[in-house]
Every structure is written in structure tokens, then in C-alpha cells.
Copies of this chain bind each other. A is one copy, B any other.
Amino acid sequence: MELAFELLLAKAAQHATLLAADRAALLDLMPRSRPVAAGEDIVRQGDRPDTAVIVLSGMLGRYQTLETGDRQYISFHITGDMPDIQSLFLSTMDHSVCAINGAEIAAVPHKQLIPLIVSRPAVGFAFWRVTLVDAAIFRQAVTNVGARSHLARLAHFFCEQYTRADDAGLAVEKSCDLPLSQGQIGQALGMAAISVNRAVQALRKDDLATLRAGKLEIRDWRGLARVAEFDPTYLHLTKEAELSKMAFK
């Protein structure tokens, strides 16, 4: 809980300058945490939630469903992310959010957030910015699914997930959790599961990255980033994070 909040604060603070009082007010929200089972939906398309979720641990997935039952994952979220702040101002959910693996979340009531935002513009800006970074991630997803080859697409996906995990301090020794089946990755990247499999193998063969047992390991960052044409600008991370990324190369 503490960790997730610290991450959220760090993320939020990147643009707006948060005063100590702002931070204190945020920490004061202190929502209850609750566990979510793998596969369980947290909010569903059509719902009108009155809380906003913070991820404390595990991975959440945002998806839309077609009439055929096909599922399109839009984005994935880890510790410190707030995947559904948009519900503050868009009352009806146009997508669902589920737990990918066992996760722990906290839910902050809108009723507490609105007054906080009104009384402390810096906090509002911070949350606003979080939603804007999400939007930037969606834009990249459009480009990834729409314009890149299968191999580049998977490589880009790996780069993004790793970079975000690393930014959250969740990467250890060039590897991070990625508890997705190849089928789910396919549903995120607009590829058949078999095509994901072939791409995973290609990346493994060239020793760029490996995915095994829900763990993503980066073997050759520069090579992977080159295949992916990965430019982390869109994640709008802290300067330090980008610098450390450089050093990693």
C-alpha cells in the first residue's frame, strides 16, 4: 500500500509541483485494500463506478469485448497505476478492467477525490496528467497494432512493459513480471496466439528477450529497442528514469 502510494505520488509529481500538504492530503485518503482473484473483473463495460482503483500489487488488464466474445486488451497496469480515474468524469465505463493474476487493489471513492481536486489544483493536475499518460499509451497501442510488423509489435510491447515495470522499481536484473499467456498477448496486439508464439521464439532465438513462466527477461536492450523502434518519450517518465535507461544501454 505504502509503495503503491509512493509510486503514484512520484508519477503524479512529475509535472505538477506537489507541496507537502498536497502529498499529505493524498496519503490521507487511505483507502481499504482488497485482493482480487486472477481473471476476476473489477469494473465492467457499462458500469458506473463511484470509486477509482489504485493497483497495489499484481497486474490489471483493460479490455473491450466484441459480440463474438473476442477480447481486445487495451493496456495493462501494475503497482502504482490508477487505471480508471477517467470514471471521475466519464460516468459510464466503455471498457472493463480485470485482474490478470492475483492482485491487490485499493478503491478511492470519487466523493473524496473531487473535493480534494477542487481544493488543491496541483493534485488535480497530477491526476489529470496520469490520465494523459494513459492516453499516450493508447496512442502507441494504435500505432503498434496498426502499423508495425508482428516482430516489431511484440518487441515494442516488451519494451513498454519492461520500461514501465522498471520505472515502478519492479524490474530486477533486467527482468520483470509479465504474467500473460501468449493468447492474451495476442489479444492485446491483434495477433493470433500462434503468431505471438512465433514472434516470441524469434526474439528468443536472436537473444533479444525471453518470456517464460510469466517472466520477461531483456537479454539485449539495444537490439530489442531497435527492432521495436522503441522511443520511451510517450511514457513521459522522469528524467532520472530515462537517464538510467540510457546507462543501461
Given A229-B67, A244-B92, A147:B72 Cβ within 8 A: yes
Q: Mark A219-249, 1 if CB is under 8 A from B, else 0.
A: 0000000000100011010001001100110
- Tell me which residues across on chain B come within 8 A of A146, comparing CB atoms: 72, 145, 187-190
Residue pair A128, B128 in contact (C-beta under 8 Å): yes
Interface residue count for A (Cβ, 8 Å)?
A: 55
Q: Is the CB of B72 within 8 A of A142?
A: yes
Given contacts A135-B138, A138-B138, contact A89 B125 (CB under 8 A): yes
For the complex formed by this chain, how many copies does it contain in all? 2
Asked if A52 CB lies within 8 Å of chain B CBs, one says: no
User: B142–A70 contact, CB under 8 A?
Assistant: no
Cα separation A70 to B117 with both chains bound (whole Å): 41
Would A139 and B94 be within 8 Å (CB), given that A121-B124, A145-B190, A147-B66 are in contact? yes
Residue pair B147, A190 in contact (C-beta under 8 Å): yes
User: Bound complex: CA of A129 vs CA of B135, how far in Å?
Assistant: 12
Closest to A48 in B: B247
CA A148 to CA B66, docked complex, whole Å: 8
Give the residues in chain B near A212, CB-CB below 8 Å: none
Closest 6 A-B residue pairs measured CB to CB? A146-B190, A91-B244, A138-B138, A94-B234, A135-B135, A72-B147
| 24 A-B pairs in the complex with CB atoms less than 8 angstroms apart | A48-B244, A64-B140, A66-B143, A66-B147, A66-B229, A67-B229, A72-B147, A86-B132, A89-B125, A90-B129, A90-B133, A90-B236, A91-B243, A91-B244, A94-B139, A117-B121, A124-B124, A128-B128, A131-B131, A131-B135, A135-B135, A138-B138, A138-B139, A146-B187
Q: Give the interface of A toward B (CB within 8 A).
A: 15-16, 46, 48, 62, 64, 66-67, 70-72, 74, 86, 89-92, 94-95, 117-118, 121, 124-125, 128-129, 131-136, 138-143, 145-148, 187-190, 229, 233-234, 236, 240, 243-244, 247-248
